[in-house]
Amino acid sequence: SSGINAEYGGSAPSRLPNTSNFSIRGTRSRDVLSRVAFTASRGAACHSDRETPSPVLLRSGVTVEDALSSIRISFGRDSTLHDAEFAVTELTRALGKHEN
């Protein structure tokens, strides 16, 4: 276990298969993403450049705290398992956590 307190967003029928949105509780997504070597977005796609919680996430029932710690990662046709593993490794490193 990594010790990271994360909450996965969206139910399978209502989400895009290549996009994951999750909140890492106790963090701010802007701070976390400033320490990783890949590109991702904060919150909802239409709100990633703002400091306030995404109204889209709030309307979907996400708490203010989870909205502010929300990270959205999308993968494309050319993405590989290595890309996904790299993202997990980078997030873990940025959070100062170590896999056991």
Q: Mind listing the pLDDT tens digit for each residue in 25-57?
A: 889 998 999 999 998 888 666 555 667 888 888
65 is catalytic: no
Q: List, in sequence order, every beta strand (DSSP E) within 1-100.
A: 6-9, 19-24, 41-42, 70-74
Q: Mean pLDDT over all residues of the chain?
A: 81
pLDDT category, 89, cuts 50, 70, 90?
Answer: very high
* Whether pLDDT at 87 is above 90: yes
Residue 59: CB atoms within 10 A of its CB come to 9
Task: Write out pLDDT tens, residues 65-81.
Answer: 988 998 989 999 999 99
Upper half-sphere CA count for residue 9 (Cβ side, 13 Å) = 27
* Whether pLDDT at 98 is above 50: no
Given the residues 46, 64, 84, 88, the one annotated as active site: 46
